[in-house]
Amino acid sequence: MNKFYFSDKLRGIYATFGKAYPAAPVAEAIFRRVESMPDGFMDYSLERLENQPDMPKNLGYHLRHVLWPEYLEKHPRLKATESQSRCNNCSPDMAGFFWAWEADGKSYCLKCACNSRPDLAHIQPWTPRMALDAGLRLSDPAADGRAAPRHLPPEARKAVGHSEKPRIEHLREAAYADAENW
C-alpha cells in the first residue's frame, strides 16, 4: 500500500469521527499493520467505519483482524493459495523429503525428486530407487526389533569405566536441621 494513499484515507477515517489526525508514531504503527494490503482495502475500510457509531479503540487491530477478513471474503481472488506438492515417496511430516538409513542406523534426510523448490536447487534430488541402489534402506533398522546402536561399543564403555549400574557414591549424605519436617 502506498503510504500517501494510506495517510489520506486515515485522515478521512479520523475526520469521520471528528478526531484529530493521530501522532506520527501512531499513524506509523497503524500503517505497519496494513502496508501489505491493497489500496482498495482502505476505501472499503473507510466505507465500513463510516457506518459505525464509534471509532474502534485500537484501529490498527480492527483494520487487520476484523475488516481484512471481511474484505477477503468479498474478494476471494486475493487469498493466497497453498500449493502442497507431495508424492507418495515423501515423508508424511516433511513434504519434498524422505528418510533413508544405513545398516548401522545412521539416518539421512534426502531431497525427493518431486521437490522443485528453487532455494534447494543445489541439493541433489533422490528417488527411493536411487537410495536403494546406494545401499540405503527406506525403513529404520532400529524399528525391526533390534536395539538402536549405542554411541560407544561395550569395550570402549568398559575402558572408560562406564557401567550400567546407578552411581550413588557421588551423592553426599547431608544432615539438615529440619529434615524431619520434609
In this structure, the answer to whether residues 22 and 57 fall within a common structural domain is yes
The pLDDT tens digits of the residues spanning 98-134 come to 888 888 878 888 888 888 888 888 888 888 889 889 8
The Cα–Cα gap between 110 and 90 comes to 9
For the chain, the average pLDDT equals: 80
- pTM comes to 0.45
Residue that finishes a domain, picked among 78, 93, 115: 78
Mean pLDDT per segment of 10 residues, for the chain of length 182 residues?
89 92 93 89 90 90 92 84 68 82 84 85 88 86 55 66 60 57 57
Q: How far is CA 72 from CA 31, 80, 122, in A?
A: 19, 10, 37
Q: Judge whether 34 lies within some domain.
A: yes
My answer on whether 88 and 72 are in the same domain is: no
* Domain of 97, in residue numbers: 82-143
Is 169 domain-assigned?
A: no
| pLDDT score, position 148 | 47
78, 110, 130 - which closes a domain: 78
